[in-house]
Each structure stands twice: as structure tokens, then as C-alpha cells.
Amino acid sequence: MGAMIKLVNLHKSFGKQKVLDGLNLDIEEEKTTVIIGRSGGGKSVLLKHIIGLLRPEQGQILIDGTDITKLNDRALNEIRKKFGMLFQEAALFDSMNVGENVAFPLREHTTMKEKEIRETVADRLRSVGLTGVEEKMPSELSGGMRKRVGLARAIAMRPRIVLFDEPTTGLDPIMTEAINRLIIETQKNLNLTCIVISHDIRSIFDIGHRIAMLYEGKIIENGTPDELQGSQNPVTRQFLAGSIEGPIRIM
Amino acid sequence: MNRFSGALDRLGRTVLVGVEEIGKIILLFVSVLTWMFRPPFKLRNIFKQMEFVGVKSIFVVVLTGTFTGMVMALQGYHGFRMFSAESLVGGTVALGMTRELGPVLTSLMVTARAGSAMAAELGTMRVTEQIDALSVMAANPVKHLIVPRVIAGVLMTPLLTVVSDFTGILGGYFVGVHILGINSGIFIKNITRLVDLNDIYNGLAKAACFGLILSLVGCYKGFNTYGGAEGVGRATTEAVVLASIAILISDYFLTAIMF
Ligand SMILES: Nc1ncnc2c1ncn2[C@@H]1O[C@H](COP(=O)(O)OP(=O)(O)O)[C@@H](O)[C@H]1O
Ligand SMILES: [Mg+2]
């Protein structure tokens, strides 16, 4: 089983604040890895390192064996074509309608004809459970719809790796369940390598093949859902139980 | 002694921050230049920005231009009357508009309208991660967002200045001839006698520089926004203040070089 993404000894600080502190993590190919950890703990920062939006002060980020921390912009952009990303608030371009949003990467990186683009957009939207919404503007959509459109855009170019930053935060329980299903199905249908950040304890055991716990800038545990549920690590136990008692300090 | 060194320390810090800021804006300009000439050209984005910066500013520019020309005629008339030189009003209004007030007032209005909007729009895109989304999709944000705005700023500010010059002179004509009773023929003859084509060209060159300043500053502030809605507000204010100051200061030096 190969690790297609390998993070080695990552260090990242903002000013005096140390966010990543010697983090190591292997992400397995064609599996979903869920990263859990407390708010403000650096999960988004970690994700942004994987796709090259942030550069570490020290350490390596290997994507298919290439260390992206050393790449220039052009080479980095080639690597990024392997990725799709769904942002926390979907990050749809609000100057464009839904159809243009999903078409954006196609127009940017392919020579497809207009008709082909329209068909591809409709297909991607259908695969996230939406039809006939191309003309809507992002501001007219509900939170759940925005996430769906964001996912359609993320998978428009058929990437091999998709990153999800808190895909279900801020959604009602039913929509949460629907988005979780969508992640599971999309991962299976497209054989994706997924990295999902989540707080939602119930969801993570449904969608994760592997679960990694981020704590104080390090991955302190990484295993199957069963392994994590049986964990003896007091930090993991406290986090999964959602308990106030334990080693995690509440400010 | 301690208070003194504290104040000195703060002053030094402020200067350092200012110099760093200017350096970063120049770096952004270099990056805009390199991306500007690299195909594919986003014509649609450019036209959209030109419409926003140019077409939609016409109304305010006409308004400010007209009234500035009118008030100049009024003020000039009272001054020149002391020397019985009322006939010079037309020429001075035209000279003042084309060389100075046309470019400066237009740029300040465009800063208030479009420069602020650039900062707010890009700032919102930054805090809602839309700029990150562009990067993630291997699309360069400078090329997509900043190049069209800077092109629009550099091209449209001089065009709007033409409008401002023209309406300013018209306003001056109206006040001078119809209200103050200066002879129409003399008013116009004095314009052609005093104003050289070079006055107009140099005024437009200044306007192009101001257009560059206001769009670069607006984009820079927006692009580097942090801290949510509050951050967007701060970026917008800073963009307007910084661009206005930069326009007025550079106006002095450009004028010193040109005329
Ligand atoms: N660009 C940045 N500049 C400065 N500090 C940042 C930046 N991005 C994140 N941080 C800080 O890093 C910490 C981790 O943030 P983040 O990764 O967003 O947490 P989360 O685990 O909730 O996603 C936070 O304290 C945040 O303030
Ligand atoms: Mg986050």
C-alpha cells in the first residue's frame, strides 16, 4: 500500500505562534483520511500546506514522491492539477453563476468547446445531486447547495486527490448526513484519495478509512476507526468523548 | 530620555513599515507587468473592469468637472476684475483644468469610487478564500484579478480626465459668458491662446500615472486583507487614504518634471 502523500517533519509558525511542530503523516492512496483536532489547532493550515498555499519553515511535503516545498509556481501548478479542494465556506466565485463556477477550471485548463463544457458541467452537477441550477448565483444558494457546487467544481477536472475543509460544519443534521454520503460515494465512484477535516465525531467514523488526530502541532495518532475508538491515548479519548475532563486544556 | 527614545522608536518603525509597503506595491507592479503580456489575455475581465472604472464613473466626473470649472470662473473673475483682465478667465479655467484639476480631481473621484471597490472586492475574495480557490485551481490570482483592474485604471482615468477637462471648460464658459457677461468670442480666443496641446497631453499622462497608483494600491490592499469583515473595511479605508496621498504627492513631482 503506497503512500501518495507524505508529510515529513513539518514546522510552521505565524509570528510567535507555533502551529505545526514537527508533523509527520502518510496519506494512503485511494482511501479517505479524516483529520480531527480542536478548532484553531492548525487543521486548515495543514491542508493549505498539502496543496502548496502555504510553505513550511522546515520539512518536506511529498506528492507522488515530489517535494512541493522546493517547487516554483509553474511546477507547483502542474502538481495542483492532481488536486481538487472544497473550502470551508465553499469559496465559490460570487461574481460568477453556478455554471461558470464549475466551468472555471475547464475553461482555464482545457481546450473543450462550449457545448462540451456545458455537458461536463451538467454531468458534474448531476454527480453531486443538482440539476438545472447553472444560472443561479452563489448568493442565492443555501449552505448545503454551496458545498455541493463547491464539490462539483473541485471534481470538474477529475482530480485524483480531493481535500475537504470541514465539509459539514454549519449544516443541519440532515444536510450533514447528505454531504457525508456524497463524500463516501464520490470517493468510491472516482477512486479518490480524500483528506477530510472534520469535528463531527459521528461523521468521521462513517467516512474515514483512516483517522488522524492533530494535537499541538503533531499527529499524535493515526489509525483505522476501530483502532481510534479503542485508543488508550488520553487526548484522543477525551476528544472523541467530547469531555471537559482530560489533558486538553480549555481556555 | 526614555520617552524620547520611545517616540524615536515608533517613528523608526512607522518609516520601516511605510518603506516595506511601498516596496511590496512595486513588487506587485512588477508581477502585474510580467503577467500582463502573457497570453491568454482575459479580454472579458478587462472590458468588465473598464466598464466599471470608466463608464460607471462618468456621472460623478461630469458633475465634479462642471462645478470645478464653474467655481474657477467665478473666483478668477473676481481676481482678474481688479486688473480689468476679466477676459483672461477663459484661459485660466482651461489651463487649470487641463494641467491640474482635471487629472487630480478625476483620479480622486475614481479612487473613491473604483479604488475603494477594488480593495473591498478583493478583500472579500481573500477572506472568503476565493483567492485561495483560484490558486488551488492553478489559476494565477494576479493575472485573473489584478491585471484587468490595473489596465482599466491606467486606460480609463485619462479618458475620464478628458471628460472632466471638457465639462470643466464648459462650466467655466457658462458662468463666465452667461452669468458674468464676458464676451463669448474673447473667452474662447483666450483659451486657444493660453492652452497648448502639450498642456492637455501632460495632464493626461499624469492621469494615467494616477490611474496606475489608485488601481495598484486598491488591489494591493484588497489582496493582503486579513481578519474578516473588519479587515475588509480596514483595507478599503487604507486603500483610499494611501492612494489619495500618493496621488497628491506624486502630482507635485510629475508636475515639476513635466512643465
Ligand atoms: N495566514 C495566517 N496568518 C496568521 N495566523 C494564521 C494564518 N492562518 C492561520 N493562522 C492561525 O493558525 C492557527 C490555526 O488555524 P487553522 O488552521 O485555521 O485552525 P483550524 O484547525 O480550526 O482549521 C489559528 O490560531 C490561526 O489564527
Ligand atoms: Mg479551519
Average model confidence (pLDDT) for chain A?
92
Q: What is the pTM of this model?
A: 0.90
pLDDT per residue over A152-179, tens digit each?
Answer: 999 999 999 999 999 998 888 888 999 9
Residue that has been written with the C-alpha cell 468670442 in this structure: B185
**Segment B193-222 mean pLDDT:** 95
**Segment A40-49 mean pLDDT:** 94
**Rounded CA separation A150/A162 (Å):** 11
For ligand 1, is residue A42 a contact (CB within 6 Å)? yes
Residue A2: band (very low, low, confident or very high) from pLDDT cuts 50, 70, 90: low
pLDDT per residue over B1-45, tens digit each?
Answer: 577 888 899 999 999 998 999 999 999 999 999 999 988 888 999
pLDDT per residue over B55-102, tens digit each?
Answer: 999 999 999 999 999 999 999 998 888 888 888 899 999 999 999 999
Nearest to A104 among B129, B135, B137 (CB): B137
State whether B138 and A77 contact (CB < 8 Å). Answer: yes
Query: Residue A1: what pLDDT?
Result: 45
Query: Residue B41: what pLDDT?
Result: 85
Q: Residue A67 half-sphere exposure, CB side, CA atoms within 13 Å? A: 9
**Rounded CA separation A96/A53 (Å):** 23
Nearest to A87 among B129, B138, B140 (CB): B129
Average model confidence (pLDDT) for chain B?
94
**Segment A84-89 mean pLDDT:** 93
List the alpha helices (DSSP H) in chain B: 2-36, 43-53, 58-81, 89-96, 102-110, 116-127, 130-136, 141, 147-173, 184-194, 197-223, 228-258
What residue's CA is closest to ligand 1, atom 6? A14
- Residues of chain B in contact with residue A88, where contact means CB-CB under 8 angstroms, are 129
Q: Ligand 2 is a single-atom ion; what residues have CB below 5 A from it?
A: A 44
Query: Residue A47: what pLDDT?
Result: 95
At A184, the amino acid letter reads I
Domains in chain A (CATH in brackets) are 1-82+160-251 (3.40.50.300), 91-158 (no CATH)
Three-class SS state of A245: coil
**Segment A15-28 mean pLDDT:** 94
Taking the CA atoms of chain B, what radius of gyration do you get in angstroms?
Answer: 21
**Rounded CA separation B2/B23 (Å):** 31
What residue's CA is closest to ligand 1, atom 17? A42
Q: What are the sequence ranges of the domains in chain B?
A: 2-258
Query: Residue B144: what pLDDT?
Result: 94
Query: What is the number of the ligand 1 atom nearest to the C-alpha of A37?
Result: 21
**Rounded CA separation A145/A162 (Å):** 18
For ligand 1, is residue A36 a contact (CB within 6 Å)? no
